[in-house]
Amino acid sequence: MLLQTDPTVIYALSEAYDGKIYKRDLRIDSPYNTYIYKGLPPTPIAMPGIAAIEAALHPSEGNALYFVAKGNQGYHHFSSNLKEHDCAVIKYLLTKQSSSYKRWCRKRPSCSACRR
């Protein structure tokens, strides 16, 4: 499956990363771009810390498949299905002023973020 994780795209962009990910960045041809290549990248994208190793060895119980950053504070929202994830993307990443927000809201009218 396509993992579609932004950190792998940031890694692929390297010095070209300016702090934001654009739609064009999701199409760059790199084996690290998990938006276009299935599975894990060919090598680790960072040196994991002890907490990450412990988490991999002893994972928490749960059924979350998706995550979205809640901002730049290091917090995330985890979702167990795509509908919930799409709503979290709306809530945390898109603004009501953007055309993207309105397009997503038409797709997910029952989303709690859209009912505001």
CA–CA distances in Å: residue 95 to residues 13, 57, 99, 100, 106: 25, 37, 9, 8, 14
For residues 51-75, average pLDDT:
86
pLDDT at 98 exceeding the cut of 70:
no
pLDDT value of position 103: 63
> 52 or 37: which carries more pLDDT confidence?
37
pLDDT value of position 36: 95
With a threshold of 0.85, does the pTM exceed it? no
Using the CB atoms, write b or e for 69-107: b if 16+ within 10 Å. eeeeeeeebebeeeebbbbbbbbeebeeeeeebeebbee
- pLDDT range class, residue 45, cuts 50, 70, 90: confident
- The answer to whether 85 touches 79, Cβ cutoff 8 Å, is yes
pLDDT at 96 exceeding the cut of 60:
no
pLDDT at 73 exceeding the cut of 90:
no
pLDDT at 86 exceeding the cut of 90:
no
For residues 65-78, average pLDDT:
83
Percent of the residues in the chain that have a pLDDT greater than 90, as a whole number = 39
